[in-house]
Amino acid sequence: MSKQRIAILSGKGGTGKTLVSVNLASVAEHAMYIDCDVEEPNGHLFFKPEHILEKTVTVRVPRVNPALCDGCRVCVDFCAFNALALAKNSLLIFDGICHSCGGCVLFCPQNALHEEDRPIGCVREGSSGAVAVKSGFLNPGEASGIPIIQELLAVPASDHHEQIFIDCPPGSSCMAMESITDADFCLLVVEPTRFGVHDLSMVYELVRLFKKPFAAVLNKCTEGTNPAERFCREHNIPIFARIPHDPVLGLMHSNALIAANEDDKYHDIFSDLLHQLTKEISHAAVSHS
Ligand code: SF4
Ligand code: SF4
């Protein structure tokens, strides 16, 4: 069986994206959970993984040899990100906004520039029962976690986990885009508020832009009208699950417990959701073959 990559998105934090991700990975048989929310990773708090291996993630940044630099400005003019400046013939390098394109090093006529590795965070990989758990951690103050997300998602073909659940960064930023690039299916988690609908509309546009198959999970459902459900109906978005607004669930989640492992009702809700996802992805694979 080929791997199924399922990305779980939400328009903003706090809608239940991690709740859905960790519970799906827990009810699956051969799952990998990947926390791409590298600015605020919290999935590991639920899984409490063991046997952790840590890998530092670095980016390449330019360094100047002042003895060779003649202040010609070629590099400064080349850098599209304004990461270089000359002050009194000294080259200033702003690491935080450098995009590691390497162009300045290539074009320096004096060979005054070279590249060095600069750490921006790390990836930690461990296991929690049968679930492989990978989490990315971006160092505070860093502008982009994309290199960490790329490292997280580089799962070798030889890996035996059949389903990969990608807990995406909130919103529809570059980091969210990077997280869904290779996804087979996207789940949009939404809460029943006007803000929730606004945020849903953003990730809805994102998954359509990437031409990904997708469905919604309505979280915190109560009796009465649900603006998120209305939005889904109006836009023909399939609803794969409705998770109730339940203080017991909230308590389990705030105590970093995985509801599907604690309560049969939630085990059934997430098993049904997983079944729907598996069926939908298999069906899509057959239609495209
Ligand atoms: S291109 Fe090279 S020589 Fe010119 S300012 Fe930049 S580092 Fe200095
Ligand atoms: S590597 Fe690219 S982004 Fe970074 S300073 Fe050089 S030209 Fe600018």
- Ligand 2 binding residues, C-beta < 6 A: 62, 78-79, 81, 83-84, 98-104
Amino acid type, 201? S
Tell whether 53 and 71 lie within a shared domain: no
The answer to whether residues 135 and 272 belong to one domain is: yes
How many domains in the chain? 2
List CB contacts of 83: < 8 A, sequence separation 6 or more.
93, 94, 95, 97, 98, 99
Domain end (from 69, 96, 119): 119
Domain match, 256 and 179 both: yes
CB distance 113 to 33 below 8 Å: no
**What was the pLDDT predicted at 171?**
83
Give the pLDDT score at 30.
86
Q: Does residue 75 have its Cβ closer than 6 Å to ligand 1?
A: yes
Q: What amino acid is encoded at 84 in this protein?
A: L
Indicate which CATH number applies to the domain containing 78: 3.30.70.20
Instruction: List, in sequence order, every residue forming a beta bridge with 135; answer none if it has no partner.
Output: 35, 124
Does residue 265 share a domain with residue 223? yes
47 and 177 housed in the same domain: yes
Give CA–CA dist 11/20, Å, rounded.
14
Pocket probe mutation, ligand 2, options 58, 59, 81, max atoms within 8 Å of Cβ: 81
148 C-alpha vs ligand 1 centroid, how far in Å? 30
**pTM of the complete model beyond 0.85:** yes
Tell me the pLDDT of the chain (289 aa) as tens digits. Answer: 578 999 999 987 788 999 999 999 999 988 999 999 999 999 999 999 999 999 999 999 999 999 999 999 999 999 999 999 999 889 999 998 899 999 999 999 999 999 999 999 999 999 999 999 999 999 998 888 999 999 999 988 888 888 999 999 988 888 999 999 999 999 999 988 888 888 899 999 999 999 999 999 999 988 878 888 999 999 999 999 999 999 999 999 999 999 999 999 999 999 999 999 999 888 776 665 5
Q: For atom 3 of ligand 1, which residue has the closest CA?
A: 69
Separation of alpha carbons 200 and 207, rounded Å: 11
In degrees, rounded to 5, the angle at the alpha carbon of residue 240 between the alpha carbons of residues 222 and 44 is 85
Ligand lying nearest the CA atom of residue 71: 1
CATH of the domain at 42: 3.40.50.300
Its domain, for residue 237, covers 4-57+121-288
